[in-house]
Structure 1
Amino acid sequence: MTNQKAQEEELSLKLFVVLNRTLESIKKRVEEDIKCLGLNPTEFAVLELIYNKGEQPIQKIGEKVLIASSSITYVVDKLEKKKLLERKPCPGDRRITFAAITAKGTELMNEIFPQHKTAIQEILSGLDTNEKENMIQQLKKLGYYAEGV
């Protein structure tokens, strides 16, 4: 193995470790913020998706918020008990059920989502606007490449 290839491998390993540690630190801070808002991270993710994107087929929520499909029914049940979501049957296909935000859910998200956005901004304020834009592009490039390998 050439010296350059060995250095490249070491650098790649270091990048992998740094990315993981950074993501864990950010996730920990975001989860702390979400808990302060009275929801667990999974409940918040589902509610935030439906708040921002409108009603969703329950079967598709898991892939959109990166939650195991086996957990979705449980999370939707919990949000339904809190009267933040409701199930709606699909008129055209009885096999599909939608999760829709309730008036109470919308009211809650209208109150807490701006606070959440501010918390995310504060957590990520270690980078300026240009650095964030560059990081987004670089991470997308890396992600697309990793998917294709």
Structure 2
Amino acid sequence: MLRQRRSITETEQAIQERLGGLPLQREAMAAVGNIHRAAAAIRQHLENSALRPHELTWTGFVVLWVLWIWGEAESWSVAEEAGISKGTLTGISQTLESRGLVARSPHPEDRRRVLLALTPKGENLMEELFPAFNAEEAFVAAPLDLAQCRQLAEGLRAIISQLETHGEQRRRDLLDGEKLAPRRSGRRPRQKP
């Protein structure tokens, strides 16, 4: 079967047909599903518009953003703020360092720990790039008026707060005393011959 891009309406209709008989909280499913689809579409648009001329990926931009807003920070903190693993940050920071945008230095109290900071070139890039990035944010949000933008932002903050406040306990409750399995990349372990 030939794959094609489906509209959000087609997707929601297919979901209704597939799950029509199940007792589900459809409004919650639609809200979370649309958050995911919107985030993916926005990320793709921003990478292909504002970031591509600067040869930046979304993740590279987010690392630069975290350092631009918060200043020098330990690598674990940057990874946490950017929502990525420390391993992913290592590769991203090496790329950004090779481009002269980020500087890595040992922590003064423990040389095993690493500090990251924007270089002057990184600062200049963010000052140049961010107005164009924000113009694309405005393009993405153009169908909403200011009150709707505020309402959407407040609703998303409430979801984030729910997860930050109660998410860990919910995960424990769902596990019912079992240990959480380690996070995996999705790849299956190799089978020994």
Question: Corresponding residue for 2:80?
Answer: 63
Match of 1:37 among 32, 54, 57: 54
Compare relative contact order (CA 8 Å, sep 6+) and give the higher one, 1 or 2.
1
Question: Corresponding residue for 1:115?
Answer: 132
Residues in 2 aligned to 1:146 and 1:86: alpha-carbon distance in whole angstroms: 33
Task: List alignment gaps of at least 5 residues for structure 1.
Answer: 1-5
Between Structure 1 and Structure 2, how many residues are aligned? 143
Indicate the RMSD between aligned Cα atoms, in angstroms: 1.9
Task: List alignment gaps of at least 5 residues for structure 2.
Answer: 1-22, 171-193
TM-score normalised by the chain length of structure 1: 0.84
Q: Give the percent of matched residue pairs that are identical in Structure 1 and Structure 2.
A: 24
Alignment partner of 1:74 is 2:85 = no
Match of 2:33 among 17, 22, 47: 17
TM-score normalised by the chain length of structure 2: 0.67
Residues in 1 aligned to 2:143 and 2:123: alpha-carbon distance in whole angstroms: 31
Give CA-to-partner distance per residue, 1:62-98, whole Å, 9 cap, x none: 1110112211111111111111111122223323221
Deviating beyond 3 angstroms after TM superposition, the runs of 4 or more aligned structure 1 residues are none
> Letter of the aligned partner of 1:21 in structure 2?
R
Residues in 2 aligned to 1:15 and 1:108: alpha-carbon distance in whole angstroms: 35
The answer (yes or no) to whether the contact 1:51–1:109 under 8 Å persists in 2 is yes
Larger C-alpha radius of gyration, 1 or 2? Answer: 2
Match of 2:158 among 131, 136, 141: 141
